[in-house]
Amino acid sequence: MAVKETRPKAQWRVGQVIEEGIQYRGEHQFRVQIRERGQNLSLTFETLKAARDWKAATEKKLLGRHVIDPTLPEKTTVAAAAEWAITVYLERPSQLPKSRPKVPHVWERPNDKNLDSKWRWWRDTSPFRSWMLADVRNNHLTVWARTVLMEDVGDDVEDAAEALTEVKELEGDDKPVTAQTIIHRLNALSRLVQEWRLANGLSEQHLPNPVTKGVRPPNGKGRHRRLNKGEAEALAEAITASSRTWLPDAVNLAIETATRQSELAKLTWDRVHLDDEHPYVHLPQTKNGRERNVPLSDSAIDSLMRLRALADNHNAKCLARIEQARTDNQRTAALASPTWDKPVPVETGRGIIHAFRDAVEAYRTNGGNGLDDLRWHDLRHEAVSRLFELTTLRETEIMAIVGHLGRDMLEHYATLRTKQFRDQLPTADGAKGDPPGTVKLRPGKPAVIKTIEGKWVRLATADEVLITYARKMLDAAGQDLEDVQTA
């Protein structure tokens, strides 16, 4: 039975069909009309609820029709649905006896035992137990799974302590939860929605299954997520729309410096050295317990300068409110306003994680494309990957900048330099790794010299700059340029 969207009574027109079989006839007049198999039944009620109840009971009694209530998902909690699944679908007692029964229960279907334990978790422990079924969406489940598995933490040890507190609030204890456990719970929820929906005659349109593709976490696989093509623009749009004005520059700093979330959260202005000959930020406490200095690119410097301007503007407004306060209450409220006393105004790394997550979810909720399963720690992967791909820094130098890298991660990043390794392999003309200006003598063939573009050309046809450079190299080797050219 299709149900039209219910609107406030003030918007109902006299004679309007509110939903199938119910017509609005004026104030406090809801007319029910049932026409089936030659019968014509009608009655008018003062309330819409009374009209619905009479219509449902009449159809069930006279016509033997199973009445579908499309609003049921909006008034049934996850716990109530799980209780139905345990007691009706599995035909098990609501509460299990404390002592083990002498005769083991014989399960009708092979997976029923697993479903029984998981459905009891959704009923008794799940943070969604008081949610209405219609309110549970795939993005809610994704955030929950990522929080419980502490996937946003990455290798940030300090932030892990804060994340563990959130896990304890969700799970009731701080015991580690594996990805496989989360997958089992989500599978049970998916089955619960399917069976409950079928039992109540509802379609997927009435109650979509929230356990969609991508909600279940990967099981035991390493994560090397990076920004895909076009995602940089999508990410910029998402974070620019955030109410946290510092977020765009915090994201840029993460990509430009590969700093972890807790390192950014603890960064203070006295550790930012923009006036140095080579600007850098000093991190006195990192994951491996060692301090390190992180060099700043021009883009990172611009972000820190914008953050300084935002902080100064915010603090000036706070001071103005204090000075303009006319009453004690106004002054107390003005003094209570937090000041912006460091680049990223958050207490811990979790503040950055939540701000980033909120911005990405809002972007996708508003119809944005991309950023699927993108996490804050993925920005560090992007930053380190770029250092390996776009620079000629040695691995030890990169590790000095980004901090600790495990052996498996180091091996992963090293594979990004495959193209560089290929370019350095020797060829018929000479070694690709030779610097520009290198002269190669070939028996029986004209001498060649390497250009700035990396190409080998005949020495006789080279430009004056290369010839001058070659003359110096040959002089140092005790050879004469003219002799080489005529060789």
Instruction: Tell me whether residue 463 is in a domain.
Output: yes
Is 90 exceeded by the pLDDT of residue 438? no
* Phi, psi of 118, rounded to the nearest 5 degrees: -70, -40
| Segment among 9-23, 69-83, 302-316 with least mean pLDDT | 9-23
Angle at 291 between CA 289 and CA 295, to 5 degrees: 140
Can you tell me the mean pLDDT for 285-307?
88
Edge to edge, the sheet with strand 292-295 lists 272-273, 280-283, 292-295
Is 90 exceeded by the pLDDT of residue 280? yes
Same domain, 142 and 14: no
Between residues 143 and 38, the one the model is more confident about: 143
Same domain, 413 and 447: no
Instruction: Tell me whether residue 293 is in a domain.
Output: yes
Instruction: Tell me whether residue 415 is in a domain.
Output: yes
Same domain, 338 and 457: no
- The 3-state DSSP class for residue 100 equals coil
Residues 120 and 85: their CA atoms lie apart, in Å, by 9
Is 50 exceeded by the pLDDT of residue 257? yes
Give the pLDDT confidence score for residue 462 in this predicted structure: 65
Give the pLDDT confidence score for residue 129 in this predicted structure: 92
Half-sphere exposure of 390 (CA within 13 A, CB side): 7
Is 50 exceeded by the pLDDT of residue 3? no
Same domain, 372 and 313: yes
Tokens 């003359």: give the residue.
Answer: 471
Give the pLDDT confidence score for residue 50 in this predicted structure: 86
Residues 381 and 58: their CA atoms lie apart, in Å, by 63
Contact 380, 260 (CB under 8 A): yes
Give the pLDDT confidence score for residue 477 in this predicted structure: 55
CB atoms within 10 A of CB 143: 16
Same domain, 331 and 376: yes
Between residues 432 and 260, the one the model is more confident about: 260
CB atoms within 10 A of CB 286: 21
Same domain, 179 and 55: no
Instruction: Tell me whether residue 344 is in a domain.
Output: yes
% residues pLDDT > 90 (the chain): 30
Give the pLDDT confidence score for residue 373 in this predicted structure: 81
Same domain, 119 and 21: no
Same domain, 248 and 345: yes
Last-in-domain residue among 199, 220, 243? 199
Same domain, 85 and 163: yes
Q: Which residue range is the domain that position 463 belongs to?
A: 439-485
pLDDT category at 35 given cuts 50, 70, 90 is: confident
Same domain, 253 and 384: yes
Give the pLDDT confidence score for residue 235 in this predicted structure: 95
Same domain, 360 and 466: no
Last-in-domain residue among 385, 419, 453? 419
Is 60 exceeded by the pLDDT of residue 430? no
Same domain, 118 and 145: yes
Instruction: Tell me whether residue 55 is in a domain.
Output: yes
Tokens 């459905």: give the residue.
Answer: 119
Residues 243 and 266: their CA atoms lie apart, in Å, by 21
Instruction: Tell me whether residue 220 is in a domain.
Output: no
Contact 359, 239 (CB under 8 A): yes
* Burial class for 473, CB neighbours closer than 10 Å (0-12, 13-18, 19+): middle
% residues pLDDT > 70 (the chain): 74
Give the pLDDT confidence score for residue 223 in this predicted structure: 66
Between residues 276 and 223, the one the model is more confident about: 276
Angle between helices 247-257 and 298-324 (to 10 degrees): 150
pLDDT digits (tens, 9 = 90+) for 463-477: 665 566 566 656 655
Whichever domain contains 350, its CATH number is 1.10.443.10
Confidence (pTM): 0.53
* Max avg pLDDT among 251-255, 363-367, 416-420: 251-255
Which uninterrupted H or E stretch holds 17? strand 17-19
pLDDT digits (tens, 9 = 90+) for 48-100: 888 888 888 777 766 665 567 888 999 999 999 999 999 988 888 888 777 66
Instruction: Tell me whether residue 224 is in a domain.
Output: no
Indicate the number of domains in the chain.
4
Contact 177, 149 (CB under 8 A): yes
* Max avg pLDDT among 106-110, 173-177, 356-360, 446-450: 356-360
Give the pLDDT confidence score for residue 77 in this predicted structure: 95
The chain-wide mean pLDDT, for the chain, equals: 81
Residues 212 and 139: their CA atoms lie apart, in Å, by 9
Instruction: Tell me whether residue 424 is in a domain.
Output: no
Give the pLDDT confidence score for residue 7 in this predicted structure: 46
pLDDT digits (tens, 9 = 90+) for 128-144: 999 999 999 999 999 88
